[in-house]
Amino acid sequence: MAEYIGNKGTVYTGTIAATNFFPELKVSDFQELFAFLNDENENSILLKMTVSKANIDRQLLDALAENYTDLIAVSQALWGNDLTADAMYKQAVFSRTASDLIDNRLSTDATKEASDRQSALDDRVTNLRTQATDALDQLLSATGETTGYTFELL
């Protein structure tokens, strides 16, 4: 039985505005990186992205704002360029957003097909959370701090 899951060709135009320290985030950039989530609607992506951004900003701002004016300054200090810290920041926010969207899907889809895919999706969530934490740790290394999280493979 066919089921409509959204227009996968729609490019969303939503954004989260830049702040003094952090760059603008575009839903379309998220879509490019996480095409497997294209059945999510724009509002759900924006909501999860806003929450992810708020949590990550809180983790980073206190640590970085004391010594740096923006992510470009962090990038210059750590990598000698203007772009790497921006990429790390987006990796952290987008990976956390994607993992939250997948978690939501797992918790609401109780079909037989979903249970067959749950293990693969759980692995994907773990991978995305690792990517987000790694990106945060890279950014926090400018201050000598880390997130304090470690991952152990069993």
> How far is Cα 144 from Cα 17, in angstroms, rounded to an integer?
28
Write the secondary structure of 71-109 as one string of H (helix), E (strand) and C (coil).
HHHHHHHHHCCCCHHHHHHHHHHHHHHHHHHHHHHHHHC
Residue bearing the bigger pLDDT, 26 or 136 = 26
What is the tens place of the pLDDT at every residue in 91-116? Answer: 999 999 999 988 877 766 666 666 66
Tokens of 145: 């701090």
CA of residue 150 relative to chain centroid, distance: 18
**pLDDT at residue 9, as a whole number:** 73
Ordered by start, the domain boundaries in the chain are 46-140
54 vs 2 pLDDT, higher one: 54
The model's pLDDT over 66-89, given as tens digits with 9 standing for 90+, comes to 899 999 999 999 999 999 999 999
Quick check: 5 pLDDT over 50? no
pLDDT in tens, 113-126: 666 677 777 777 88
Other C-beta atoms within 10 Å of 121: how many? 17
Q: How far apart are CA 35 and CA 47, in angstroms?
A: 18
Which candidate, 136, 132, 130, places its Cα nearest to that of 62? 136
